[in-house]
Amino acid sequence: MTRSSPLLEVKNLHVRFETLRGVLQAVNGVDLTIFPGQIVGLIGESGSGKSVTAKSILNVLSTPPGITDGEIWYRGRNLLELSAKEMSRLRGQSIAMVSQDPMSSLNPVFTVGEQLRDALLWADIVQNTTGEPSAFNLINRFTSAGRRRFRQAAAQVVEDLRQVELPAPHQQVKNYPQQLSGGMRQRVLTAMACAGEPDLIIADEPTTALDVTIQAQILMLLRELAQTRGVSILYISHDLGVVAQLCDRVAVMYAGEIVEEADVRDIFENPQHPYTEALIRATTMASEDDLVEIPGEVPNMLAPPKGCHFWPRCPKMVEQCANEKPRLAPVGQDHESKCGRVHGEWI
Amino acid sequence: MRILRFLIKRLLYLIPIMIGLITITFFLMNVIPGNPVRLAIGPQASMETEERVRREFGLDRPIWQQYILYFERMLRGDLGNSLVTRRPVVDDLQRRIPASVELAIAGMFIGVAGGLVLGVLSAVHRDKLIDHASRIAAISGVSVPAFFLSLLAQLILGSALSLFPITGRISFEIDSPTAITGLYLFDSLITGNLAALRSSAHHLILPAFTLSIPILALTARLTRSGMLDVLSQDYVMNARAAAGLPERIAIYKYALKNALIATVSQIGLGFGAILSGSVLVETVFDWPGLGLYTVTAAINQDIQPIVGTTIVAGLMFVIINILTDLTYRVLDPRIEV
Amino acid sequence: MDGQSQNIKTLANGESQSAGTGFLSSDQRDILRIFLRNRLSVLGLGIVIFWLVVAIIGPALAPLPPQEMDIMNRRSPPNAAHPLGTDWLGRDVFSRVLHGTPITLLIGIVPIALAILIGVPTGAIAGYSGGRVESLIMRTADIFLSVPALVLAIAVTAALGPSLLNAMIAVSVVWWPWYTRLIHSQTLSLSKRVFVEAAIGLGASHRSIIVRHLLPNMASSIFVRGSLDLGFAVLTMAGLGFIGMGAQAPSPEWGLAVSLGRRFMPEFWWISVFPGLAIFSVVLGFNLLGDGIRDALDPEIRGR
């Protein structure tokens, strides 16, 4: 793989929410780099801040409003400094998201076909206008050019659904999302995210709600996308097994921070952070696809523990862990860890 | 086909409601302390009349027989006579229903349309100036007494600024349009009677606007909360994050339809407020509809018209609710009708 | 709710047990904080307290008795002697508004209290007993709700004879079914909860289950609904007064005052406008307060 220049570079990202009970630091100084064509896994328990990280890349943190700090570089532009209009033009066209739950990610009162058609129509409008693309064209059936665009998009819908291997696409376009199975909906969502031919897809736990066979099919689909179209994927999951199947590189997130980052084989063969070790142990010990919990509780992020965030649950903690904040530092070839004991910051 | 079955089921539901309404009004006339015959014939009638009416209505018989007789009378459409107008109540009602229906439709239309706009703007610009302003306007709208608002409208827009006529449905100089439906706007439009159309529209604006205020407030509130709820759903974020749709389309095409369905499902309740409000608004604007008729009857202790309007208002309310349910079911693909 | 706020809730949860100092539990302090954070709720509370104080000390402070006529100064506009003017009999509008305050608050509270007294037992019985009793009670409630509120209230008052007391009875007759419905659905859902099932299993009597277990758990929703309904009751009572079905002359009741002053519109507007504004502000206060209480107590909204 050519390690030319990164496609996306997140630098020192902070996201906090102001809640009734105080300030909640959901993301605390995250760095993340994705190269073209690379599949990066971002892994962590629920509430670790991985979804928030993903949403702030696309600036779709809406409820409650988050306060974002840091830099997110994409093709030479800092996304956090883009205007709403510039960001809107980027969304779906350059970076698209396949979200968490296929059950709730499609609008229940519009047909699948119409939702995908609008995505394709908009991609077409954006690509074929030099200036400001006009939202009016999304409802413009009054001119012959408008009608032609609608016809083309409608034909493209069936074609795209066939490409994501949705069975009987001709019939499915007339159905409402709730008439489709979870796996079928996930395929529709994937087709939707690909509508604008983005070069980065952020997949936020897209397979959580699916059973194992369907999950494997969706993963295969994503892999194919990365290989055939050279799309980069940021794959967010709590499931190490899935990440092992799919990703090139893995970042492990805990309590708003990245605690370890390495190539996928390295992480599994040679984990350099107690939390990663615990995760791997939990996964290998898990009998089926159900979650095995790591002992202890995720820290309350309104008042995170002093020192290393993991120390209250860490089997290897020493006194320094509870008092000093460890750095993320190299522990090998392209391998970084945030454990003070491992990289020799203390002891 | 399914819709038809739903409609039939709901229309059948009208039967127990009818029975209930007739029973309630029977209660009002008989179980409540007081002399029902006196209530029916009024305080001025002689003792002989009282005796005659008592026998005529079968009031000398046991109470359950009276109930059956009353029921039969109601089913025949015999609502008795009004003491004030000295006409059968049914005739009076027929004459007055169109005026009320026209006012109610106009009020409902203004209220729902205005409320939708206000509610959507409020939700989209949450916690901005327009949101605060429209929420304060909405809560003021449900707090102001309808009769007081009518008076203020008359005082300011009618008297002080002379923008609108203060009372009535149409100017005295202009003949009412040929009666087809009894709705002046509709009839004058169909017969091409422009003078009548202008005058009746001019007369309709103030009372309809006043009547619409509580509905406007209710719709704005429902739409705002429905819209906020929808906007926080994954599929709205997804329309922007996955499909990349511009915010305007994500909001005004996608989210709006979901919010509309939620609003429509509850808007039928607001029609009760319209019917209640029209009693007061018609009184102030001297609008010759059911509300004014009820009030005139109530002041004169004329019980038969009150029984009639209670039943008619109940039926109208129930039918409107059936219609909104139907609309809701047609709009929402999630419901297997 | 989306995943993101869900997560934030999970994260924030750990704290709720830890804090527990002072007089109030952390939940109660949250309720208070939500209520006080909303400026409109506080405004509503202020308006209601203001009118409560006026209702108690207003009649004593009023410059003139409500029926005192100043024959020489009939229909005089607001001036130093009569800050809100005088009516067609030369009575001081300001004094009459003050004297009308306790009536207005009373006619807001009494019908709702009556409606609760009817609605709570019927709803609890319906939800608890089920079967025929349930359907009889609930269908009756449906019928009452199928007639628009003011129309039914007029019919009941007209049958009973127009008076302030009968109008209050009429409004409670119109409004009880809402409480029956509320309590009915709450009883149904609470009956399935563990602690009620446990009590039944331990052989507690029906009465004690309803009184000791069900009602205390419904108190907050009755309170929320009641505070939201106060404004409605005042509006309906004032409406009845306005059309002559409520308070009778010479009562200083505000709805009646607006109605009688109508004859002198538009020249002598102050006779109607000031009592009308008073009604508006009381109802606005009740509604703002009711909304604030609902937002603070409703667990759906809390935590957002």
Residues 6+ apart with CB under 8 A from B192: none
Contact C243 B295 (CB under 8 A): yes
- Domain span including residue C121: 51-59+85-302
Taking residues A78-103, what's their average pLDDT? 84
Q: Write the DSSP string, B10-58.
A: HHHHHHHHHHHHHHHHHHHHHTSSS-HHHHHH-TTS-HHHHHHHHHHTT
Lowest mean pLDDT among B160-169, C84-93, C203-212: C203-212
**Cα gap C265→A208, rounded to integer Å:** 70
Q: Is residue C22 domain-resident?
A: no
* pLDDT above 90: percentage of residues in chain B: 36
- Say yes or no for a CB contact (<8 Å) between C143 and B24: yes
Q: What is the mean pLDDT of residues B269-287?
A: 91
- Asked whether residue A77 carries a pLDDT value surpassing 80, the answer given is yes
For position A346, what pLDDT does the model report? 64
**Sheet containing A329-332: order of strands:** A95-98, A200-204, A232-237, A39-43, A249-254, A257-263, A335-337, A329-332
Residue A78 is given by DSSP the state E
* Crossing angle (nearest 10°) for helices C164-191 and C131-145: 140
Q: Give the residue from C176, C52, C41, C67 showing the smallest Cα distance to C106.
A: C52
Q: Tell me which residue in B242, B246, B247 faces A193 most closely, judged by beta carbons.
A: B242
Contact A27, A56 (CB under 8 A): yes
Kindly report the CATH number assigned to the domain that includes residue C140: 1.10.3720.10
Strands A200-204 and A95-98: parallel
Taking CB atoms and an 8 Å limit, are C10 and A47 in contact across chains?
Answer: yes
Tens of pLDDT, residue by residue over B38-94, are 766 777 777 788 788 777 766 777 878 888 888 888 888 888 888 888 889 999 999
Q: Do B258 and A195 touch (CB under 8 A)?
A: no
Residue C26 has pLDDT above 80, yes or no: no
Q: For chain A, say whether B253 makes contact (Cβ under 8 Å).
A: yes
Residues of chain A with CATH 3.40.50.300: 8-94+202-337
Contact assignment for A21 to C15 by CB distance below 8 Å:
yes
pLDDT at residue A82 above 60? Answer: yes
Of A20, A299, A301, the CB nearest to C33: A20
Kindly list the distances between the CA atom of residue B195 and the CA atoms of B47, B101, B185, B269, in Å, as whole numbers in the listed order.
52, 21, 11, 36
Residue with tokens 């003949």: B175
User: What CATH number is given for A8-94+202-337 in this structure?
Assistant: 3.40.50.300
Residues of chain A positioned with their CB less than 8 A from the CB of C7: 26, 46-47, 51-52
Instruction: Count other Cβ atoms within 10 Å, centred on residue B265.
Output: 19
Q: What is the reported pLDDT for C182?
A: 93
Decide if pLDDT at C5 tops 50. Answer: no
- Measured between beta carbons, the chain C residues lying within 8 angstroms of B279 are 150-151, 154, 239, 243
Q: What is the pLDDT of residue A131?
A: 74
d(CA B27, CA A159): 69
- The confidence band for A219, taking pLDDT boundaries of 50, 70 and 90, is confident
Q: Which two tokens stand for residue A318?
A: 């020493």
With CB atoms and an 8 Å threshold, state whether C143 touches B136.
no
Residues 6+ apart with CB under 8 A from B3: B326, B329, B330, B337
Question: How far is the alpha carbon of A152 from chain C, nearest alpha carbon, in Å?
Answer: 34
- 8 Å CB contact of B306 and C157: no
pLDDT at B188: 85
Nearest CB to A303; choose among C15, C33, C303:
C15
Instruction: Tell me the ipTM for this assembly.
Output: 0.88
Residue B196 has pLDDT above 80, yes or no: yes
Number of neighbours of residue B248 by Cβ within 10 angstroms: 13
Residue A244 pLDDT exceeds 50: yes
Work out the number of other CB atoms within 10 angstroms of the CB of residue C233: 26
C 282-301 near B (Cβ less than 8 A): 283-284, 286-288, 291
CA distance B201 to B177: 12
Percent of chain A with pLDDT over 90: 24
User: What does the pLDDT read at residue A295?
Assistant: 75
Question: Which residues of B fall within a CB distance of 8 Å from A92?
Answer: 240-245
Task: Write out pLDDT tens, residues C173-205.
Answer: 999 999 999 999 988 888 777 777 777 777 777
Asked if residue C39 is part of any domain, the answer here is no
Q: In this model, does residue C6 exceed pLDDT 50?
A: no
**Would you say residue C8 has pLDDT above 70?**
no
Domains of chain B from N-terminus onward: 21-75 (no CATH), 92-166+206-289+316-331 (1.10.3720.10)
CB-nearest to B279 from C40, C150, C280 is C150
Beta-sheet strands, E only, within chain A: 8-19, 22-34, 39-43, 66-74, 77-78, 95-98, 200-204, 232-237, 249-254, 257-263, 329-332, 335-337
C253 lies in a domain? yes
Q: Verify whether the Cβ–Cβ distance B298 to C231 is below 8 Å.
A: no
Burial B283-312 (b: 16+ CB within 10 A, else e): bbbebbbbbbbbbbbbeebbbbbbbbbbbb
Partner chains of A (3+ C-beta pairs under 8 Å): B, C
Query: For the segment C137-181, what is each residue's pLDDT rounded down to a tens digit?
Result: 999 999 999 999 999 999 999 888 889 999 999 999 999 999 999
Token readout for B333 is 């693909």
Residue A229 neighbours by CB under 8 Å, 6+ apart: A194, A197
Closest-CA residue of chain C to B135: C40
Quote the CA–CA distance of C19 and C30 in Å, as a whole number: 11
Residue with tokens 């209702």: C55
pLDDT for C2 beyond 60: no
Quickly state the pLDDT bin for B31 (edges 50, 70, 90). Answer: low
- Whether residue C11 and residue A301 make contact (CB cut-off 8 A), yes or no, is yes
Instruction: Count the domains in chain C.
Output: 1
For residue B337, is pLDDT > 80? no
Closest among A201, A80, A123 to B245, alpha carbons compared: A123
Neighbouring chains of C at 3+ CB pairs within 8 Å? Answer: A, B
- Best mutation target, C39, C154, C259, to test chain B (most B CBs within 10 A): C154
